Structure 1
Amino acid sequence: MTISFDLDDTLIPGTKRFPSEKQTWFQKLLGLEKIRLGTVQLMKKLKAEKHQVMVYTTSFRSAGHIRWLFLLHGVWLDGIINQRRHDRTLLTEGKRSSKYPPAFKIEVHVDDSKGVELEGQRYGFRTILITEQEEDGVAKVLAALEPTNNAGFVAATP
């Protein structure tokens, strides 16, 4: 399965605050953002289970910046979609959506935005919504990905 994660306010604290992974002095020196506590564990577990793990963000961070952010935590991302790539791809498909994971063969998208959840219902892609208050977003994502438990998914009927 291919799973993507939003960055801002989902994995990287911004306007929303949540506990973060500990940073090394090198990560601090490079000025890399902190990432949500449990993210590294979750992504490593998903990859060990042979899932493809991607980042899908509407930020203009470069793919290289995002790759380093996770690589320095020991996580190799299988793909990165930033705003530029999103715009190029969706322009050719004629879609108007803040995120559209099916265009990138993504089966499940994890985000903090209720708007993205609504787009998932409208356009028929599965989402897992993680809020700022979620103490264990890792457990929520893993539970939602269980084959017998689709409770964490939001999908529209096309």
Structure 2
Amino acid sequence: MIISFDLDDTLISKNKFQLEKTNFLQRIFGIESLRKGTIDLFKELKKQKHQIYIYTTSCRSESRIKGTFCSYGISVDYVINQQKHQKKSSKTNIRCSKFPPMFHIDIHVDDSIGVEMEGQKFGFKTIIISETDENWTQTILSKIDLHQEL
């Protein structure tokens, strides 16, 4: 299964949730801090043979995004940033902030209710995570299990 994750306010934020510990080199190079639990979640998803994509509407470069995750010892299989999204979506009649089926994504994880509404309108699956959900990784794993059973 291909699972994509939003970045801002889902996996990265300065003050909305607890963050993974950073090391000296991450601080020197200005690597963004990941939400606490991201490392274990991604390792578990990889163990279950899922592919992990990042799908963000930010203009961060693909190498910057991959470098962030690599600095934490985890990898992502594919990165979709604003440029890739716009390039591919310009060839369709679908207008929405994110359209995971365009990239063969099975489930998209985000913090935005707006993305959930787009999912309902355009027929793609979402898992919406609150910034206050302290068990957010378990929420994701449980909902992925439910989707696999369907």
TM value normalised by structure 1: 0.91
Question: 2 CA distance for matches of 1:132 and 1:57?
Answer: 17
Report the number of matched residues: 147
TM value normalised by structure 2: 0.95
Partner of 1:9: 9
Secondary structure, counterpart of 1:4 in structure 2: strand
Matched, 1:65 2:87: no
Q: CA deviation at 1:94?
A: 2.5
Q: How does 1:69-108 map to 2 (within 5 A)?
A: 69-108=68-107
Question: 1 CA distance for matches of 2:126 and 2:69?
Answer: 22
Partner of 1:110: 109
Secondary structure, counterpart of 2:90 in structure 1: helix
- Name segments (4+ residues, structure 1) moved above 3 Å: none
Percent identical across equivalent pairs? 46
Question: 2 CA distance for matches of 1:43 and 1:54?
Answer: 10
Which runs of 5 or more structure 2 residues have no equivalent in the other structure? Answer: none
Question: 1 CA distance for matches of 2:31 and 2:13?
Answer: 12
Question: 2 CA distance for matches of 1:2 and 1:28?
Answer: 31
- Return the letter of the residue paired with 2:65: I
Question: 2 CA distance for matches of 1:97 and 1:32?
Answer: 29
- Return the letter of the residue paired with 2:98: K
Partner of 1:130: 129
Partner of 1:153: none
RMSD: 0.9
Q: CA deviation at 1:32?
A: 1.0
Secondary structure, counterpart of 2:126 in structure 1: strand
Partner of 2:144: 145
Secondary structure, counterpart of 1:58 in structure 2: coil
Question: 2 CA distance for matches of 1:73 and 1:136?
Answer: 20
